[in-house]
Structure 1
């Protein structure tokens, strides 16, 4: 059986709604963060779908795809994986692919048809359970006293859990033999700061010291009271600006949430200079590049204010991630929360590797900046590292 014949057989059976379950594994690239993919059929709004479960090292993500759109998705999946175990109603299939897509195929026929469960399990497995009381969530008004998430706060609860997923993914990059130093610039009402402290200190038992920094005195005073009441003795909140904070010479993790315009770049630059192992940054508004854009070849797009603003925001975050890559970080742009909740949903995640950028990577970066006729603030801040 050829590679194309193998895919055609699987797709045909799936389109016939014969799938019971499937597991696809063995990523072709070690860098692939999704270690395993599971497939199962389900009914959504009276329509047959295939649910795709992406299994990372510590978290799961789900995507539901209509049956007619699934063949193209399966084609893409087999570009990245080499093994599949597929259960159909009357057949069990095992597939092993070589690096050059030579197919090792095994099929076992069954005389007793299997049952297909098309029910949709809507309960999501959160790292923080949605039916367990947490003192900080109760105090912050996200949960009731008995641990139920308040209806009007459920989006906030999902955002907190999404943030905790990123924190959990970063655990292996944090020191194990000493206190972990964490700074949160622009902490605001500090939902995520408290969540970070709870997860790392209470649930994971790490020795940490966390500082939340914000310009709003009243907010800082309230957060300080809550931390004291909860007994979070290694969590402090200070009034201050990113530029004025000079209390540290080295930091392990830097978090910056919704710091406007170049305030995000200031925080990223400070993180790099401190040698932070982990950077988590959710930018807010980006105006600097918008003002600099001078690219006649893109005028068809940029003549429209809305498109210009969105392009500038996406380009700014792409540049930030690339600069972090150039100075020794593994940087990614990830979805923080669903686009339906806010368009400002990009998170920059960077892990310090110390890997040096190659000549081609720097040339590609310079070419992009030349196209835009721009000089990013972060580039200027980190010029001695580039």
Structure 2
């Protein structure tokens, strides 16, 4: 290629490589291919290792040196294709002796949209996390078989995961004023929701994101780290520790928690309050704390039956959680996450920060606390 074209390549690569610095955690690979006659010469740039492999030879190559390196080599060839393969999209530069062009391609558009399983037989819904587009992710978390079929015993789990994404979608849109959405998963377990949200926010919503998963089990944390490595999700951190010991090193935008047992849910909500999270998505699990605490003499004739007493304790526990979030300026809604036919633990507490302390809610909570003679665990995180 002539010098004028090569100078243009160098100029356009400066813009493309600046993206490599800004989105380093989301880069899968950087490749280039020179063509001379019918022969191709292929190279790979390893961003993390700051090196390039071209024609079987390794050399040191920093990001800032990429434009000069490529443009100088281009003088010897007829054509160039330079590709930045970022999660969710590709940035491609094509050049020959006549012109230099760039284009952006949605990676999902390159994958087939056609698949035998595109709708749930249970919910008859279109999926946000779609088979055919998210196969690598869905295989890694056990939803798909190796040949890309949804496992029969994972259909319900697939529906649950996708519905959670649907419920959190509006919260993601409301955080459009931040460059990177930071998500904290409390008592993350195997982190399936975290991996799914990571995929959705970055590759579907096209927003940068960072995830922190916390759990006390070293086994599940190690498993999560291995999955992240296999998926090449570099924008994730997994910590084996007690939630009460966590001190964030960055702003936290969304806190999620799915089926954290008993007061672990309160620890998750308390952590969200302490880090001043702008949004919370929490699906509680079992309820034990208030069962032996509360007293309601007016209902003794009903609550003498153990099953009624336990069910009332469940309602009281989650109702108090919602009210305590309101005292801290959150707008709270409680919805059914999934059908009660699938699990009785199906409530989702959604909260969005809208103000400072809510005095009316504080007074309501104090009256409720006195009436039922309770001291909820969540209160220790809050200055009432």
Partner of 2:198: 197
Q: Distance in 1 between matches of 2:248 and 2:359?
A: 34
CA–CA distance in structure 2, aligned partners of residues 349 and 234 of structure 1: 25
Cα distance in 1 for partners of 2:190, 2:380 equals 31
**Inter-partner Cα distance in structure 1 for 2:292 and 2:305:** 14
TM-score w.r.t. the length of structure 2 is 0.64
Q: CA deviation at 1:173?
A: 2.9
Cα pair distance change 1:121/1:177, threshold 3 Å: closer
Instruction: Name the structure 1 match of 2:160.
Output: 159
Contact 2:273-2:381 at 8 Å conserved across structures: no
Q: Summarize the Cα distance change of 1:139–1:353 in structure 2 as closer, same or farther, 3 Å threshold.
A: same
SS in 2 for 1:183: strand
SS in 1 for 2:237: strand
Are 2:152 and 1:126 aligned? no
Where structure 1 has 5 or more consecutive residues not aligned to the other structure, the ranges are: 1-119
Inter-partner Cα distance in structure 1 for 2:123 and 2:268? 38
Larger Rg: 2
1:272 shift after superposition: 1.2
Paired residue secondary structure (1:375): coil
Aligned to 1:374: 374
What is aligned with 1:29? none
* Contact preservation (8 Å) 1:173, 1:351: no
Cα contact 2:187–2:264 (8 A) shared by 1: no
Deviations 1:34-68 (A, max 9, x none): xxxxxxxxxxxxxxxxxxxxxxxxxxxxxxxxxxx
Aligned residues of 1:133 and 1:148 also touching (Cα < 8 A): no
User: Which whole-Å CA distance do the structure 2 matches of 1:319 and 1:371 have between them?
Assistant: 12
Q: What CA distance in whole angstroms lies between the structure 2 residues aligned with 1:132 and 1:150?
A: 17
Structure 1 residue 134: Cα displacement: 2.3
Equivalences for 1:121-270 in 2 at 5 Å? 123-130=124-131, 132-248=133-249, 250-270=251-271
Match of 2:309?
308
Tell me if structure 2 keeps the 8 A contact 1:173–1:278. no
In the other structure, the counterpart of 2:330 is 329
Alpha-carbon contact 2:252-2:276 (below 8 Å) kept = yes
Cα deviation, residue 341, structure 1: 0.6
Matches within 5 A, 1:99-114: none
1:307–1:248 CA distance, 2 compared to 1 (3 A)? farther
3-state DSSP class of the match of 2:125? Answer: coil
Take 1:200 and 1:321, find their aligned partners in 2: how far apart are those partners?
27
Quote the Cα distance in structure 2 between the aligned partners of 1:300 and 1:131: 57
Tell which deviates more after alignment, 340-349 or 164-173: 164-173
1:146 Cα deviation (Å)? 4.3
Q: Is the 8 A contact 1:328 1:352 kept in 2?
A: yes
Question: Number of residues paired by the alignment?
Answer: 264
Distance 1:351 1:133 in 2: 29
Q: What is residue 109 of structure 1 aligned with on the other side?
A: none
User: TM-score, with normalisation over the residues of structure 1?
Assistant: 0.64
- Structure 2 residue ranges without an equivalent (≥5): 1-120
Q: Is the 8 A contact 2:187 2:268 kept in 1?
A: no
Q: CA deviation at 1:326?
A: 1.6
Question: What displacement does 1:200 show?
Answer: 0.7
Tell me, in whole angstroms, the C-alpha distance in 2 between the residues paired with 1:340 and 1:130. Answer: 25
| Counterpart in the other structure of 1:35 | none
* Cα pair 1:131 1:148 within 8 Å, conserved: no
Give the Å deviation of 1:282: 1.1
SS in structure 1 of the partner of residue 332 of structure 2: strand
In 2, Cα distance between equivalents of 1:314 and 1:220: 32
2:102: which partner in 1? none
Distance change >3 Å, CA 189–CA 125, structure 1 → 2: same
Change (3 A) 1:148 1:233: same
Give the Cα separation in 2 of the matches to 1:297 and 1:178. 53
